[in-house]
Amino acid sequence: MIVRRYCLILGSLLLAACDPQQAQYRTAMQQLFQRDYRAGAATLTSLAENGHPPSQFRLGFLYRTGLGVPRSARLANYWFEKAAQQGDVGGQYWLAESYRRGQGLPVSPELAYAGFYRLAERGYAPAQYQVALALAEGRGVARNNGHAITWLQRAVAGGHPEAARRLAQAYRNGELGLPQDPLQAAEWERKIQPARF
């Protein structure tokens, strides 16, 4: 039984190692690491066109920053969307961010909120923070202080210091429907500091 399990693990590891797309992706990343951006972009393009989500996200990032390819927010978002459709975290986050900022796309708080919400539900703390801000400000969604506080608390539980800072501020100033409470504010501020043992 144990031997069979180890064989399965070993087999899957070998399969992963033999995955040609994975090997090609690593080559592209090596090229980018060595600052050979043109070669890296070329390798990523062929992978992205074959539907490899991490390559699609990385290629979108190259278009966004203009490394190895001409800078193009439109193409960046195109590849972010392709990656996001396959569940890539980076693609989903940056596509939502592009909708929020209006980079290469018309500003759409609704689509930004929807994108962040999908990631927030999967437990990604930076997206939970963005969802909380949108709910607190009524950006792309009806204002709802209660839900905003819940998402802020979830983001704090995910180690997000900005969320803790926002909660502390809300308690200090009596915002988001919370009573003024300096003790609670201090408690949330304490959570900004990383725990030390």
As measured in angstroms, the least distance from the Cβ of 160 to another protein is 8
d(CA 193, CA 169): 15
d(CA 40, CA 93): 23
As measured in angstroms, the least distance from the Cβ of 103 to another protein is 11
As measured in angstroms, the least distance from the Cβ of 187 to another protein is 17
Is the Cβ of residue 125 or residue 131 nearer to another protein in the bound state?
Answer: 125
Closest CA relative to residue 61, chosen from 86, 39, 85, 44: 44
As measured in angstroms, the least distance from the Cβ of 151 to another protein is 15
Q: C-alpha distances in angstroms, 152 versus 139, 155, 167, 188?
A: 15, 5, 7, 11
Is the Cβ of residue 54 or residue 176 nearer to another protein in the bound state?
Answer: 54
Q: Would the CA dihedral through 91, 93, 97, 100 be positive or negative?
A: positive
As measured in angstroms, the least distance from the Cβ of 64 to another protein is 9
Is the Cβ of residue 29 or residue 178 nearer to another protein in the bound state?
Answer: 29
Q: At what angle do helices 53-65 and 73-85 cross, to 10 degrees?
A: 160
d(CA 126, CA 17): 32
Is the Cβ of residue 38 or residue 122 nearer to another protein in the bound state?
Answer: 122
d(CA 68, CA 55): 14
Is the Cβ of residue 1 or residue 193 nearer to another protein in the bound state?
Answer: 193
As measured in angstroms, the least distance from the Cβ of 176 to another protein is 23
Provide the binding-site residues for another protein, judged by CB under 8 A.
13-14, 16-17, 19, 22, 26, 29-30, 32-33, 54, 57-58, 61, 65, 67, 89-90, 93, 122-126, 158-160, 194-197
- Specify whether the CB–CB gap between 64 and 56 falls below 8 A: no
Is the Cβ of residue 93 or residue 113 nearer to another protein in the bound state?
Answer: 93
Closest CA relative to residue 151, chosen from 170, 131, 169, 124: 131
